[in-house]
A and B are shown apart, each in its own frame.
Chain A
Amino acid sequence: MTAFTGTGSLVRLILRRDRVLMPIWMLFMAVLPLSLASGTAAIYKTDAERQGYIDDLGSSPMLILFYGQKPSDPNLGALIFWRSATGIVIMALIAVLFVIRHTRLEEEAGRRELLGSAVVGRHAGLTAALVAISGASLGVGVLVALGMMSQQTPASGAFAMGMAWAFAGIMFGAIAAVTAQLTEGAGAARGIGIGLLGLAFAVRGVGDVVAGGWAWLSWISPLGWVNQVHAFTDNRWWVFALAIVATVALAALALRLSARRDVGAGLLPPRLGPATAAPSLSSPLALAWRLHKGSLYGWLVGLGVVGGVLFGGVAETSTKLLEDNEQLTEILARIGGKSGAADIFLAGTLGMGATAIAAYGIAAALRMRTEEASLRSEPLLAASVSRMRWAASHLVFAFLGPTVVMAVTGLFAGLVYGASVDNIGREVPRVVGGALVQLPAIWVLGALAVAMFGLRPRLAPAIGWGALSLCIVLGQIGAALQLSQSLLDVSPFTHIPRVPGGSVAFTPLLILTALAVALAAVGLATFRRRDIPVT
């Protein structure tokens, strides 16, 4: 038996466990540049048009921060490679989550120990996770390349772009393999991994925005290398050598670190907690605060502050983009001119932010299910805590959490946009309003998860997440697929008025709110009467 014995069967185990999730995200990643390419090809037909588009986008430092340096050639492939750079970050993020999920989380749950006692080598678990993420990333890369080729772009560029995307996943998978060795808790390992991704993004972004004497910054970030492949212009294949060397070095480091520590232990000493509880930790709500505050802070900063600033910042540049497009300008003139364009942009991005926040609401509601299934709810309910009080402690976060995050998102978007058009007093309440009208739809999805938690606890996660996926599909591509209105109406987000800019129809908002209340009430009433725990 070698240290790698059993890697193959562990890879199969990973594929089996992720047999639903993995095809979904792979397909999602593959469709992203494809849909962007076909959409762009239809609007910007000539090199001159595309060059104008590139120059427009490139005039905003915010977008350079996101996409990297402008491409040197305005062909369609180069434009798409540049415009879809966010996809690279998503690839890297998925890879981090994936590797932590199949390494440190397994260990934390004690399942690694179980496997360790079977015939698997010491390195098998980590290697299997790396093999699986590399395979999946290469799969995405091939799909991306084929998708680009289907849009009449050169094969060499398409292949360079596909491999660039693949290596974003592969490199960050290897980075996560290292962070997974550091801490005992999966949450902390994930946090460090995502933090490094954020750092890589920031370093690459600053290098690209400031450029000149600071351009070298883009070269010390793995995300920078992916951009530097310059697919469809230079096709710099040699950059992949850097990526391969980095990946091999990181994987080797992760394996060395893993070999030097005990199963379950981390290299960083675990942090100790207090020997006695603070006086405030004496209610279910106080406990729920401890359990939910991490993700609440994450959403507040990630979507509320960063997202808000970006939405607000880009809103003003979006008006600039439209200046050259006569047809659009004319349409927009009828609905309120240039500020109309910004309004449409803000209403759209706030709507997208709202679907993201719905994910937070659902996750917070489903926390009840996690607590029940892990038997952690039992000692509380066996103490002098009523079922309603326990459920309420989590529902505060499922319903008020998204409310606070949406309000903060609107506030920051309003402040930044208001500052850019020199009218903070007018824009802040309008944009905050645009954020808050989204809430009833967000609540409906959270309340559906609550209802299922009472009625069919085992199915609650599948139905909660399934409903959100359906809403995303209907919202993002429903109109493009020309689905019938009655089908689009299934998503609560369809009924949300477009604000700022549009008029606010209160009836759908009230109906959605009433629906959310009714669903939550059904969930609580059934939870009150049912057996606990259902495992």
Chain B
Amino acid sequence: MENAISVSGLTKRFGQTKALDGLDLAVAQGEVHGFLGPNGSGKTTTIRILLGLLRADGGTATLLGGDPWRDAVALHRRLAYVPGDVTLWPNLSGGEVIDLLGRLRGGLNPKRRKELLERFDLDPKKKGRAYSKGNRQKVGLIAALASDVELLLLDEPTSGLDPLMEEVFRQVIAEETKNNGRTVLLSSHILAEVEALCDRVSIIRLGKTVETGTLTQLRHLTRTFISAELATPPNGLGSMAGVHDLHVSDNHVKLQVDSAQLDPVLRQLTSHGVRSLVSQPPTLEELFLRHYETEPVK
């Protein structure tokens, strides 16, 4: 099946800043794709290029089989976008904005609109200026989710939502893909959200894709933390593949090891006689944090 989004080697500069530096992204039809990366890594820039708002300096991008820049108006009938910071017109009510945006896309499903208003507990009569951050976000989400579109581009859409609403959001997105077969690109900072929703994930950093794959594949990239007391001081650990953050003091060893290299490293440890051993299982969080660290990727 053709990809809903395929991007390769995308570059974009803003003056001196290199916002995108050869970014790759492939989102299959019908999947929820997590788009992760630290602040300023280029998520919003990528989404704006996909929306034909920014023009890429280099690379290629295809969206729903079309060119995001050239075919913008036609493509936008088939997608809905929610920015990370929804701003509203002060004198339009939330309900008016939902209807207007829906009509300017491919149309709105009134039944779905009503249902979403109830589930997100939003008063559509308030004027734009009267909504809190979270409620503005809900207006954007309802407008997008109630629209008859095949692709949702969500840029950190849950910022400002309380945990209860965050849960509603997860349920709704899960239903979207199961019942309606919609494709979702979800840029997010919230790991639990990504773990709960996403089929596949791309992690970007400094405008480049650093990891991409299913959550299971990514778990293989995680590391196990080991702290051990040995009978004799160890040697040769530092030169072993897959060993990171090694600290040795006398007979005490602390290290992190890639899941794939667990076996040879444990053998090496036992050859020195293990007296005690503590290990912490791999977490995705640790993987993400590793990519969020500021020093450049090696």
Contact = CB atoms under 8 A, between A and B. Distances in A.
Q: Do chains A and B interact in one complex?
A: yes
Interface of A: 108, 184-185, 187, 270-277, 281-284, 286-287, 290-291, 374-376, 378-386, 529, 531-533
B191 interface: no
A376 B87 contact: yes
B103 A282 contact: yes
A273 B126 contact: yes
Contacts of B100: 277, 281-282, 286-287
Contact of A379 (B99, B101, B126): B101
Given A271-B127, A384-B76, A532-B53, A379 B95 contact: no
Contact of B53 (A271, A275, A277, A533): A533
A378 B89 contact: no
B34 interface: no
A379 B81 contact: yes
By secondary structure, the B interface counts as mixed
B51 interface: yes
8 contacts: A108-B90, A185-B127, A270-B127, A275-B93, A379-B83, A380-B104, A381-B53, A531-B53
A382 B76 CA distance: 6
A271 B130 CA distance: 10
Nearest to B72: A386
Contacts of A380: 101, 104
Contacts of A290: 89, 91-92
B74 interface: yes
B67 interface: no
Interface residues of B, number: 43
Contacts of A283: 104
B224 to A, nearest CB: 43
Interface string B63-89: 000000000111011011101011111
B105 interface: yes
B37 interface: no
Given A108-B129, A185-B91, A274-B125, A383 B104 contact: yes
Nearest to A270: B130
Contact of B124 (A276, A291, A378, A383): A276
A531 B51 CA distance: 11
B140 interface: yes
Sort A-B residue pairs by CB-CB distance and give the 7 closest, nearest first.
Answer: A273-B93, A277-B99, A383-B104, A277-B96, A382-B81, A282-B103, A272-B125
A270 B99 CA distance: 22
Interface string B51-68: 101110000000000000
A270 B101 CA distance: 24
Interface class of chain A by DSSP: loop
B90 A385 contact: no
Contacts of B80: 383
A277 B77 CA distance: 20
B282 interface: no
Contacts of A273: 91-96, 125-127
Given A108-B129, A184-B130, A378-B53, A272 B93 contact: yes
Given A185-B90, A270-B127, A382-B79, 14 more contacts: A273-B94, A273-B95, A273-B125, A274-B93, A275-B93, A275-B125, A281-B99, A282-B99, A379-B81, A380-B101, A382-B81, A383-B81, A385-B73, A386-B72
A438 B1 CA distance: 62
A32 B140 CA distance: 50
A318 to B, nearest CB: 41
Contact of A276 (B48, B54, B86, B96): B96
A385 B83 CA distance: 17
A384 B87 contact: no
B106 interface: yes
Contacts of A108: 90, 129
Contacts of A271: 127
A517 B81 CA distance: 34
A385 B100 CA distance: 12
Contacts of B93: 272-275
A65 B137 CA distance: 51
Contacts of A533: 53
Nearest to B77: A384
Nearest to B86: A379
A436 B99 CA distance: 39
B85 to A, nearest CB: 7
A4 B106 CA distance: 54
A384 B125 contact: no
A383 B127 contact: no
B129 A383 contact: no
Contacts of A531: 53-55
A284 B86 CA distance: 18
Contacts of B143: 379
Given A108-B129, A277-B95, A383 B101 contact: yes
Nearest to B82: A379
A529 B53 CA distance: 9
Contacts of B125: 272-275
B20 to A, nearest CB: 13
A274 B125 CA distance: 5
A532 B98 CA distance: 22
Nearest to A389: B73
Given A276-B96, A281-B99, A282-B104, A386 B124 contact: no
A375 B55 contact: no
Contacts of A185: 90-91, 127, 129
A246 B129 CA distance: 32
A193 to B, nearest CB: 17
Nearest to B47: A382
A275 B91 contact: no
Contacts of A284: 104
B83 A378 contact: yes
Q: Which of B79, B81, B99 has the most CB of A within 10 A?
A: B99
Contacts of B140: 379
A275 B55 CA distance: 37
A271 B93 CA distance: 10
A382 B53 contact: yes
Interface in B5-35: none
B87 to A, nearest CB: 5
Nearest to B96: A277
Nearest to B90: A185
Contacts of A184: 129-130
Contacts of B104: 282-284, 380, 383-385
Contact of A274 (B72, B76, B96): B96
Contact of B83 (A270, A286, A375, A384): A375
A271 to B, nearest CB: 7
Interface string B99-125: 111011110000000000000000011
Q: By CB atoms of chain B within 10 A, which of A384, A529, A531, A532 has the most?
A: A384
Contacts of A275: 93, 95, 124-125
B81 to A, nearest CB: 4
Contacts of B81: 378-379, 382-383
Contacts of A532: 48, 53-54
Contacts of B130: 184, 270
